Amino acid sequence: MKTISENACFGGTQGVYAHASDACSCEMTFGLFLPEEAKDGPVPVLWYLSGLTCTHENAMTKAGAQGWAAEHGIALVFPDTSPRGDDVADDEAYDLGKGAGFYVNATQDPWKQHFQMWDYISEELPRILTANFAIDEERQGITGHSMGGHGALTLAMTLPERFLSVSAFAPIAHPTQSDWGRKQLSAYLGDDESKWTAHDATLLMREKGFDGPILIDQGASDQFLDLLKPEALAEAIAARRQQATFRMQPGYDHSYFFVSTFMEDHVAFHAEALYAG
């Protein structure tokens, strides 16, 4: 692992690091904010998964999360959204290929060699973090925006032993029934739709739910509402009687202005769960 940058930030350190990834067979980059408390021992961690077209940098510089995380003594991890490099497969469209990993393990050519983002987020990067930084692997929460909200919800419901809390900003909530999903899942996983269900938050909510608190914020003026399908997830939450807060926020769109507005609420929500023990 190599250090790209480290900057003092709200009493802690905002770092950017790169490493050779076995899962993705390329060099991967991630951002990590460590609060001041990390100097004295392991701290809880909140994962932030970003959306389409993003890198590790978007939320790190736009979401305004570090100040709130510092107040609660929580680390923040900002992974990249896909593998990178000249030999990594890509597509001319913004919603497939680099910047659009969808947090799945691809099984189809030309994607399967590098696009193993599920394993990267769920297994490889956590090992790297706990081996090299003062991160408490027993106290983890996860959040994300758009495609990252999709990833946060599906990872949390599939790995309930890993995450104590989950939240999302405008998640892609029902990708098996959306153009933001069907295109990517068929490309990465093939045409057998039974293999897509493990990556659909609405279907997972109907089947499994989550043994912990959930917070979801959705902008009511989001220009991508028809692709996100929040109503499907809200119905699944209600039908399961899942412990959850689902908020439609009047006037807000899909941008980081929306994310940054409600970031304080989300960090506080996770802090309550991560420090409950």
How would you class 7 by CB atoms within 10 Å of its CB: exposed for 0-12, middle for 13-18, buried for 19 or more? Answer: exposed
Q: Is 222 a catalytic residue?
A: yes
Peptide bond into 110 cis (omega under 30): yes
* Amino acid at position 150, single letter: H
Which residue is listed with tokens 């909510």? 205
Q: Is 254 a catalytic residue?
A: yes
Question: Which one is catalytic: 114, 150, 254, 270?
Answer: 254
Question: Which one is catalytic: 50, 82, 146, 178?
Answer: 146
Strands 214-219 and 43-49: unpaired
The answer to whether 24 and 116 have CB atoms below 8 angstroms apart is: yes
CB atoms closer than 10 angstroms to residue 33: 26
What is the chain's length?
Answer: 277
Question: Which one is catalytic: 80, 222, 266, 270?
Answer: 222
Sheet containing 165-169, strands listed edge to edge, beginning at the edge strand earlier in sequence: 2-9, 12-21, 26-34, 75-79, 43-49, 135-144, 165-169, 214-219, 245-249
Q: Is 136 a catalytic residue?
A: no
The answer to whether 51 and 22 have CB atoms below 8 angstroms apart is: no
**Would you please indicate which residues are annotated as catalytic (active-site) residues?**
146, 222, 254
